[in-house]
Each structure stands twice: as structure tokens, then as C-alpha cells.
Structure 1
């Protein structure tokens, strides 16, 4: 039995509607496309940027870092050069004591852990899990060269930021 004209029209209108919807969705999402400068936009609404300042001179006097935890990522609060930056790179000087404090901002499970380049936790450097909005935790530690990222172990693919560990002479670990 041959298809009728009505069957062809139904098929073609369905295909056209699907293509139009897909095209419109691609134009509106923009999250993965980047802006006119080719930079991606933050996923977390409270963030304004995805890159902070990693000049070691700005980090020279920093001993306390404050973040907010969301399912979409960490958002910097303090120091000022990471304020509203999503998953900011944290510049730390090897051998100095630091505290990273964070606040749960979305009522979901979060913790903060420090991992190495092999995606393994460094020693026991992790906070307890907080699952209530407004709950806070602080991780006190002294950075070592093996530390490479800070992460929420409940959202490891999207809630992670780099650690740039600098030796006391001012060079990044691993620089030649």
C-alpha cells in the first residue's frame, strides 16, 4: 500500500517542527557556546565570571579563602579577586597554612576535598558533608606540590577548581 499525501505531509511537518525546535534551543541555550569573545559563561547564576586573577603577587597575603557551594560549581567570595568567579583557580604557597571555608547555598549535599592529578584524595584533606542551606565547613591545611584540584565529591564533574601551588620563591610547582 502506497503512502498517501496526508501521510507525507504529516511526516514532513513533524520533521520541520523538530528541526525548528532544535535550532531555537541551540540559539537560546548559549551556556556551552560562549560569548562574543569566545569565552564560556558561568553555569551558576550567582557567578559573574569563570576566570579570576592568578597573579601570585595578589595571593601573597591570603591565608583564608571563602567559597559558596552550588550543584553547578563553587563560587568565590573572598579574597576580592575571586569574588563571583565560578570554580576559581586558587593560588597557594607551599608550606603556608590556609583555611578554605565554604557555605552550602542550595540545600544539596556538598563537601570540599583536595585531590591530586590522579583524581585521588590527598591524605584526609576533606570537610564533612553539609546538606542544609546555610551550613558551613572549614578545611585547614598546608599545601604540598601534589595538590592539584579542590572538588565536591558529590558533583565531581562540575564542582571543581584548580589549585596552583607556588613555591616560596614565587614559581609554580613543576615550572622549569
Structure 2
């Protein structure tokens, strides 16, 4: 019994030491001042900032994303390509089609939320945990839209929405 306790203590000591080193070296994310890391979490992303110039969004009617547990990665249009959780610039009253693909087999969905964290106009996909499966959501951009999120990974899979006047 003593040999079992020694092995267990050695294992727990090793785990504690590894976690301590990870925290000291910053391997668990964040920076020394507690801010989030300026690098994308998802390896498929190249940036955290897309093009939010309204001119770049003038003709956009469809958007594509890859869904990862670490964040949404923009596929198209160009202003969001390879950007993790990009800000969407939408024109109020314009219709859009948003399609996303499950890249990791974890349950995701895509939803637009208002400032009170409620889904806007039922703009939410049912969700899927099937890797490679896609879901499409047709919306009309409204002033209530504040963010888009995965309702299952709300902290990591979220981005802002900027609404432009339709005029």
C-alpha cells in the first residue's frame, strides 16, 4: 500500500510541476498583465482583425465561416478571410446568407444576439456536432444585432457586429 501511495504522490507532484511551469511561461494563454493573447487561438486563423472599412463590405451578401472550439474563422468574403472571430460589417435591412462548417466535431451553432444576450429574431442555426457538416442561416440585418456567437462555446466563439445605415 505504501508503494501505491508513493506512486500516486509522484504522479500528482509531476502534474503540479507541469502546471506550474505552464503558468509561469504563459502556456495557458494570456499575457503578463492578464490581457488576452494577441495571437489567434485557432491555428487556421492568421489574424484577429479583419477589414471593417464599409467600402470592403459594399457588395457582401454571403459569409462563410469554419467553426472551431477556439473561435469562428472567416472563410469569405475577403474582409474576414483567415480572421478569428472577425467583426462583421452589415447594412441594416440587407439580407445575408451565413454558412458555417463544423471543423472539429464539437457541437456548435451560429446565432445573432442583442445587447441583452437574447437571440435576435430567432436567427440561430440548430447546431451540429458532425465534422464536415454545414449549416446555413438567412437573415436580415437589424439594429438589435450586437454579436454573433456559438451558443455552446460563448466565450471563445463570438464576434462583434457593426451595423451601417441602409442609406
- TM-score, scaled to structure 1: 0.78
How many pairs are equivalent? 150
Match of 1:81 among 79, 82, 87: 79
Q: 1:89 touches 1:161 (CA, 8 Å); kept in 2?
A: yes
Matched, 1:50 2:48: yes
Q: What SS does structure 2 have at the residue aligned with 1:26? A: helix
What's the offset of the Cα at 1:33? Answer: 2.0
Aligned position for 1:154: 152
Distance 2:152 2:58 in 1: 31
Q: 2:29 touches 2:37 (CA, 8 Å); kept in 1?
A: no
**Cα RMSD over matched residues?**
2.2
Within 5 Å, which residues of 2 pair with 1:2-41?
22=20, 25-27=23-25, 29=27, 31-33=29-31, 40-41=38-39
Q: 1:63 touches 1:97 (CA, 8 Å); kept in 2?
A: yes
Match of 1:115 among 113, 116, 122: 113
Distance 2:116 2:152 in 1: 18
Q: Which has the larger radius of gyration?
A: 1
Distance 1:132 1:166 in 2: 35
Q: 2:69 touches 2:106 (CA, 8 Å); kept in 1?
A: yes
Distance 1:39 1:79 in 2: 25
Q: What SS does structure 2 have at the residue aligned with 1:57? A: helix
Unaligned residue ranges in structure 2 (runs of 5+): 1-12
Q: 1:32 touches 1:41 (CA, 8 Å); kept in 2?
A: no
- TM-score, scaled to structure 2: 0.82
What's the offset of the Cα at 1:28? Answer: 5.0
